[in-house]
Amino acid sequence: MVLGLGIDNGTYLMHRYLEKGRTDAGYALCTTGRAMVMCSLTTMFGFGSLVTARNQALSILGGVVLLEMGFCLIVSLCFLPTLLLYGKEIHGGR
């Protein structure tokens, strides 16, 4: 479930990066950053409501998804663009 929920942000960013011709990771982040945040926040609010459930399993599931989506958002906004820029430098702009 973690992979299925967290993969959206990276997919959005990579699609925009490839659409632009692999030239500008900053542009890809600027144009899709808001969509990535909104996608993550809506998922976090939806599953976060489970934290208030009386059933302990549902409550734990809600808390885990909150943490998971928060970390996925941070990684997608900070680590993935940096990785794209670093990979471009390694391969000489190809």
Q: Is residue 22 part of a domain?
A: yes
Q: Dihedral of CA 79/85/88/92: which sign? A: negative
Cα dist. 28→6, 10, 45, 76 in Å? Answer: 18, 11, 25, 12
Cβ atoms of 2 and 70 closer than 8 Å? no
Mean pLDDT over the full length of the chain: 87
- According to the model, what pLDDT value does residue 61 have? 92
pTM of the model: 0.79
In a domain, 93, yes or no: no
Contact 9, 36 (CB under 8 A): yes
Q: How confident is the model at residue 6 (pLDDT cuts 50, 70, 90)?
A: confident
The three-class DSSP label of residue 89 is helix
Share of the chain above pLDDT 90, in %: 38
Handedness of CA 87, 30, 32, 71 (dihedral sign): positive
Number of domains in the chain: 1
Whether residue 94 lies inside any domain: the answer is no
pLDDT at 25 over 90: no
Instruction: Give the C-alpha separation, 92 to 94, whole Å.
Output: 6
Residue that is written with structure tokens 């890809």 in the block: 28
Range of the domain at 40: 2-88
**Span 65-88, average pLDDT:** 89
pLDDT of residue 94 exceeding 80: no
- Check pLDDT > 70 for residue 54: yes
